[in-house]
Structure 1
């Protein structure tokens, strides 16, 4: 209970900051608050059980609720060209970022987290992928910081680029939804081009979120096959929380989730992810984090450029 109460306090502060500055994700605020708590020596052992519960069980429950954002008919309504664009952008960004990250010496799991965050949906995807890896909490914080940094840059630069390219509103919406990291960042970017761009961008962004389930399942299967004998080798191909995510997507698509439930579910999802990332942040040691700073920033820059250019090429060719 003490750890959960501290996590709840962290959530309250993070949500308040987000309410005052909507462009700042509560997830990023939570990570920073948690890191401050941990690095100031304010994490006694009595907090550990609750914080461990928050970074594990609450995180997985948040991933399950994330499925309520998605309805398959909305995704299919985008049309085959846009769906191909999303799949291609995710595949190229994920594989390219992961490959480059390992070449830069960041390690397999840290590179995997960064690749997931830039290709799918920012901090939420990073936290979900952390559930099937052996990464350190500092790696989670690094990846979250990178998607926040470069997503914020996209909010400023993409509208300028869209104007120079004379992209129609819906085409700009596809570009923003397929390339910007966080959902909130997509909204901030696309709304500069009007409601048509915003509506398209949100659906395209959530279509990227659909890719989270097969991506995690694929990584889990790969780790299961390469781990050899032992507990890791006996892990399920599809983790239970991913199966729950798919089940909620199915329920939403079948109309079994009333529209009146969606806002409370999204609030609960945000609270759960914020609590989990606050708890993860308390385990981060800034001195260790800085040791990989330059390589991580370089990887984030290349990944942001890759996802932006691949998505733009798709828009110009297919949309």
Structure 2
């Protein structure tokens, strides 16, 4: 019995490691694909998810590697969210971005409310609608990844939501750059508009960079305010889920997302310790940022491998229509509150 268990454990460990390596391998393919002209706007994350979904359709789910893939889609996902906290400089938000926080809060409330309402109108999946509302209002894939465990979303629904948000954000970011020369806005106003209305941090950078350094700086600051508001939003959703379970007299417990505390601690550490008490070079910070992207990409590959195209056809079209309208309305509304 003991000898048999000892033979099985190395095999299990090998499958676990193999599954993790497999997700990083597809993440690497996604990074290479994203370097192709025309696809670089979509980004490494979206390209990797596309590859993972295509792999699943042609070769099926790699069951032998399930333990490692699951580890990537769950544990590494939470690690990426924690590390993502280093991107949020709380000190900058408090000192320079307080005036933008109110507009950021309005944007988040608007995006979630409209997306949920349109989801009901089009009879779209309610979990995907909520995830897309949060992703549109806050910070794209990172926000979706943070909220998904709280509302207990299926892995395939999370992956579908991330894919849609990447597509929509890319389309709108490119659209912003095309119409920017014709808008009666100063670079600062254009930067604020981009920062409070576009989906991902990368999308904000793509849209604001052509307008100059001032536009890019204020755009990123406005976007950081939305990232900052992810924390209170998650706690609000925790309370809503607990109240919902209690009113429905269900026994489902809402697990506290401890990774959010890690996100907060990393934000505080990056804002007040790194560069002050603990010196750190710009190259090191860029390395940490790149590692965060790779970890998040590998996690999303794990989610993408759970997507069935049959479900994608039946689940994605209605949310895609709803988020298209929501994003357009958000852009128009944000334009008039800058």
Q: CA deviation at 1:269?
A: 1.0
Q: Quote the residue 2:93 is aligned against.
A: 75
Name 1:174's counterpart in structure 2. Answer: 192
Mapped pair 1:314 → 2:337: yes
Partner residue of 2:77?
A: 59
Structure 2 CA distance for aligned equivalents of residues 203 and 263 of structure 1 = 18
Please name the residue that 1:11 is paired with: 27
Backbone CA RMSD of aligned residues: 1.9
Q: How far, CA to CA, are the matches of 1:24 and 1:146 in structure 2?
A: 11
- The counterpart of 1:144, out of the listed 157, 162, 165, is 162
- Cα contact 2:97–2:221 (8 A) shared by 1: no
Whether 1:285 and 2:308 are equivalent positions in the alignment is yes
Measure, in 2, the Cα distance between the counterparts of 1:117 and 1:247: 22
Structure-2 change in CA distance of 1:75 and 1:256 (3 Å): same
**1:1-319, aligned counterparts within 5 Å?**
1-20=17-36, 21-228=39-246, 232-233=252-253, 235-236=255-256, 239-256=257-274, 258-260=279-281, 261-315=284-338
TM-score by length of 1: 0.91
Which has the larger displacement, 78-87 or 168-177?
A: 78-87
Match of 2:10 in 1: none
Name the CA shift for 1:101/1:63 in 2 (closer, same or farther; >3 Å): same
CA distance in 2, matches of 1:150, 1:187: 15
- Structure 2 distance, partners of 1:161, 1:139, is 33
CA distance in 2, matches of 1:160, 1:282: 35
Q: Alpha-carbon deviation of 1:217? A: 1.9
Do the aligned partners of 1:97 and 1:299 also contact (CA within 8 Å) in 2?
yes
Give, in whole Å, the separation in 1 of the partners of 2:254 and 2:316: 34
1:17 touches 1:24 (CA, 8 Å); kept in 2? no
Contact 1:2–1:46 at 8 Å: present in 2 too?
no
Question: Could you tell me whether the CA contact under 8 Å between 2:160 and 2:307 is conserved in 1?
Answer: no
Q: Which segment is superposed worse, 270-279 or 162-171?
A: 162-171
Report how far residue 301 of structure 1 moved: 1.0
Larger radius of gyration between Structure 1 and Structure 2 = 2
Determine if contact 2:97/2:225 at 8 Å carries over to the other structure: no
SS at the partner of 1:291? helix
Measured in 2, the distance between the counterparts of 1:73 and 1:30 equals 34
CA drift at 1:234? 5.0
Q: Is the 1:18–1:24 contact (alpha carbons within 8 Å) kept by the matching residues of 2?
A: yes
> How many matched pairs?
313
**Alignment deviations for residues 210-239 of structure 1 (CA, whole Å, 9 cap, x no partner):** 122221222122112222466632523xx1
Residue-by-residue CA offset, 1:280-308 (whole Å, 9 max, x unaligned): 00010001110134312211112211321
TM-score (structure 2 length as normaliser): 0.86
Give the superposition deviation at 1:160. Answer: 4.1
